[in-house]
Amino acid sequence: MGQTAPVTPPSPPLSPVIVIAHRGVSGLRPEHTLASYELAIEQGADFIEPDLVPTKDGVLVARHENDITETTDVAKHTEFAARKTTKVIDGEKHTGWFTEDFTLVELKTLRAKERLPMLRPDNAQYDGQFEVPTLAEIIALAKKHSVGGRIVGIYPETKHPTYFASIGLPLEKRLVAQLKAAGWHDASAPVFIQSFEVNNLKALHKLTGIRLIQLMDANGAPADNAAPSYAAMATPEGLKAVAAYAWGIGPNKDMIIKGDAAPSTLVADAHAAALRLHPWTFRAENFFLPPSMRVGINPRAHGRLSDDIRRYLALGIDGFFTDFTAIGVEARGTRVN
């Protein structure tokens, strides 16, 4: 009797590790501004990440959430005072001003401000300088810098897809049409589309060949209730189901290594399901780092982010989101393109 050959799980083909500029280089500039994306590109980002929400007239713009109270100067615009309102989005109550209540022309009169001024006081010096960018402007920026053999990609996230569909502003067809017009429609495009929800990724899977990324948080479940929990999605069984429509997963980094604890098996499990992993979010401030990576006790001071990233690289991640592009590029080693 011959010996049974050991079973080797399938692995996705090796690809270079990518550095994704999370909201631009948001550790150094107010997030989701052209200035933030452009500095990230200068620092060597492979991809820039816009989170996308629509305006009242259906234009996709970059904001982390449709509530623009914390990241723009809208509260100072007396002409928009009456638009302050309360909405329930993904089951949570929010009071403020919302992109879907502004036309693009109106939104363009606002200026961005730093989200975390206590942790990133230097960024607040740019408050009031930059507009809310459109997806079209971000695509143009990436293309402008894709020269001399370098390709700068974009990594858009559809924010609150079920909510926006419910108010008649669905994101998916708008996004796919705009990417197609830019010449991006299949897996060779320098684009990844990400979502924390499941059903809109499944719909996107039918609409486009662009690579899709299923985001997962360390707690909770998708807002469209398409899975019982992110924890269930991250099991070997759950990952197999994700692989039917997604190219990879974007897990909270805690799902791979939580603080200073031992690593989970998520990298190996995802690779066994032929899924790549792009965890988020690597930030330099002590406030965000595990105890072993902190330097001093000032929460604003920078710790050893590069070393932190390398712990994950050693486990075999395929890319990562960071607020500090230059540190990410340095930790990764050589640039992809």
Tokens 């190219």 sit at which residue?
Answer: 247
Assess 283 for contact with ligand G3P (CB under 6 A): no
Member of 46, 157, 197, 318 binding ligand G3P (CB under 6 A) = 157
Least distance (Å) from ligand G3P to the CB of residue 77?
26
Binders of ligand G3P among residues 226 to 265 (CB under 6 A) are: 250
Exposed, middle or buried: residue 124 (CB in 10 Å: 0-12, 13-18, 19+)?
Answer: middle
Q: Indicate the DSSP class of residue 64.
A: S
Q: Output the residue with the shortest Cβ distance to ligand G3P.
A: 280
Member of 17, 22, 48, 175 binding ligand G3P (CB under 6 A) = 22
Beta-bridge mates of residue 95:
86
Binder of residue 19, out of ligand G3P, Ca ion, none (CB less than 5 to 8 A by kind) = none
Binder of residue 126, out of Ca ion, ligand G3P, none (CB less than 5 to 8 A by kind) = none
Question: Does residue 325 have a cis bond before it (omega within 30 degrees)?
Answer: no
Closest CB to ligand G3P among residues 178, 322? 322
Tokens 């939104």 sit at which residue?
Answer: 107
Please give the Cα distance from 189 to 212 (Å, whole number).
12
Member of 46, 51, 197, 318 binding Ca ion (CB under 5 A) = 51
Enclosing H/E stretch for 251 = strand 248-251
Member of 38, 67, 157, 323 binding Ca ion (CB under 5 A) = 157
Return the closest-CA partner of residue 262 out of 315, 324, 200, 184: 315
Cβ atoms 27, 119 nearer than 8 A: no
Site residues (CB under 5 A) for Ca ion?
Answer: 51, 157
Site residues (CB under 6 A) for ligand G3P?
Answer: 22, 51, 64, 157, 194, 215, 250, 280-281, 321
